[in-house]
Amino acid sequence: IFSIIASLFMSCCQIKANNPEIDVISPEEFQSRLTTDPKAYLLDVRKPDEFAEGHLAGAHLIDWLDNDIFKLKAKDLDKSKTIYIYCRSGRRSNDAARYLSKHGYKVVDMDGGILSWDAHGLPIER
């Protein structure tokens, strides 16, 4: 049992060590930080049809799944801003956040994506 616990602890530490610049935070904290950060840039990494169904107010869309376009458009993002990033459930945004962090961006990722945001009754622009 001790070996299992130790290996899980080491795995968690390794993940954090590989992604020191990515905060993964709750929807409530995401909203709070987004509204109080003067250098915030809100990025939705879902597909255009998902974005059209509903998104956070002020969000910019760059589809993570269109990898070539994402990489091209990511080069134009302002590195002096904090990128607040989300997707549907958190998987794509975490992948995109790791990519952006690796390329010198400060990134905050919303845990659980827009599904979690909506489940907490937070506003969605339709």
13 catalytic residue (yes or no): no
Residues 6+ apart with CB under 8 A from 98: 18, 19, 22
- Give one word for 54, left, alpha or beta, with left for phi > 0 and alpha for psi -120 to 50: left
CA distance 120 to 19: 27
Among 87, 96, 97, 110, the active-site one is 87
Angle at 63 between CA 57 and CA 68, to 5 degrees: 150
Strands annotated E in the chain: 22-25, 40-44, 60-61, 82-86, 106-110
Hunting for tokens 């992948």 — which residue is that? 95
Instruction: Supply the residues annotated as catalytic.
Output: 87
